[in-house]
Amino acid sequence: MHIRTLPWRLLACCLLALPLPLPLPLPLPAAYAAEPATASGNAALVRQAFEAWRDGRGSVCDLLHEEVEWTVAGDSPVSGVYWSRAQFLGQAVAPITARLATPIVPTVEHVVAQDDAVVVVWSGQATAKDGHAYRNRYAWHLQLREGRIVRAVAFLDTWALAQLMR
């Protein structure tokens, strides 16, 4: 069996990133019953946040760590990497919600969790201010630490988003 070694640059980057602690997270909102930091606990936390969002009682954004790294994949007006909760909400979420007459209502299709990662496949729909329906499908890969989302990659239909943003 042949074992490949990591390139030295990749190994050096990994080692440099290890000692960087994130700031302490804010306490979780009372609406989210925190379970131990397990795959099933993280999945339950994310499910609760989506249910609260669907019911108009909260949002997945309530789980964002202040220093979250959120990547919107693809090629859309809001695609890119955001390095904080404030930046993500201000530069990605706000421009989208500004074009909507109604909030996006999520429907979760699948939640899969392993270790500190939760993948959520979901669809959302809303009405745009121009009266057209906005529908999209998403796959979010979330990494949680102490009940907070610290890293996310959001995959979505960027064409549908671009149509909303024009």
**What is the DSSP track for 64-103?**
EEEEEEEEE-SSSTT-EEE-SHHHHIIIIIHHHHTTBSS-
Per cent of the chain over pLDDT 90 is: 78
Kindly indicate whether the domain formed by 34-165 is annotated with CATH number 3.10.450.50.
yes
Query: Can you tell me the mean pLDDT for 96-120?
Result: 98
Q: Is the pLDDT of residue 98 over 70?
A: yes
Confidence grade of residue 29 (pLDDT, cut at 50, 70, 90): low
- pLDDT score, position 30: 54
Extents of the domains making up the chain: 34-165
- pLDDT score, position 37: 75
Q: Is the pLDDT of residue 159 over 70?
A: yes
Q: Convert the pLDDT of each residue in 36-50 to its tens digit.
A: 579 999 999 999 999
- pLDDT score, position 116: 96
- Residue 82 has phi, psi (to 5 degrees) of -115, 135
